[in-house]
A and B are shown apart, each in its own frame.
Chain A
Amino acid sequence: AQTVTQSQPEMSVQEAETVTLSCTYDTSESDYYLFWYKQPPSRQMILVIRQEAYKQQNATENRFSVNFQKAAKSFSLKISDSQLGDAAMYFCAYRRGGGGADGLTFGKGTHLIIQP
């Protein structure tokens, strides 16, 4: 079974600074997808960024980028120019590739605090 590990229960960063959230995963598959989700206090799950394992190029979405190291099974999220609205729980998630309807496997999350 796949596992996703987020080793940082909580991180704190000054507004406008850069922060990196860590995620490692374990899988025997070669085809898979990785995601970062944001969960603010409203409880809504919001997709931040996704990465296909077969793509070597790291995904980027505005201030959010990932460092995908397939051999090391590492998938970290970098948030640049942190804003107060970035404060939330962040979950790393894995999904097996292929045409099936597999659900996501989540890590336990990192609580991100933004200091004004």
Chain B
Amino acid sequence: NAGVTQTPKFQVLKTGQSMTLQCAQDMNHNSMYWYRQDPGMGLRLIYYSASEGTTDKGEVPNGYNVSRLNKREFSLRLESAAPSQTSVYFCASSERQPPDGYTFGSGTRLTVV
């Protein structure tokens, strides 16, 4: 099925460990996004990429890095995980104009202990 695929779906890290969350879309969308969702909060934007080769900070970028590997793939890296990064992470993609909607992946539940 067409859509946004995130891996892994679940992950437990120890404080200080690093990991990369992978995201791929097959809808030929230009724009891709990483969000985090914490209990009692809506989704908050971490980073986004308007097109291949470009990335920009969102509302909560500290502690994260991203790579737009090609048009399909947009990865999120935690260099030194902290308990405050325990969250559910969503990748999304969209066309810029007009925004018919954003297609979301199924999320990654990350726990940092």
Contact = CB atoms under 8 A, between A and B. Distances in A.
A27 B102 CA distance: 20
* Size bracket, chain A contacts: 20 to 34
A94 to B, nearest CB: 11
Contact of B50 (A101, A104, A107): A101
Main secondary structure of the interface of A (DSSP, over half): loop
B102 A99 contact: no
Contacts, number: 61
Interface residues of B, number: 30
Interface of B: 30-31, 33, 35, 40-45, 48-51, 56, 58, 88, 90, 92, 94, 96-102, 104, 106-107
Interface of A: 4, 9, 33, 35, 42-45, 47, 50, 52, 91, 93, 95, 98-109
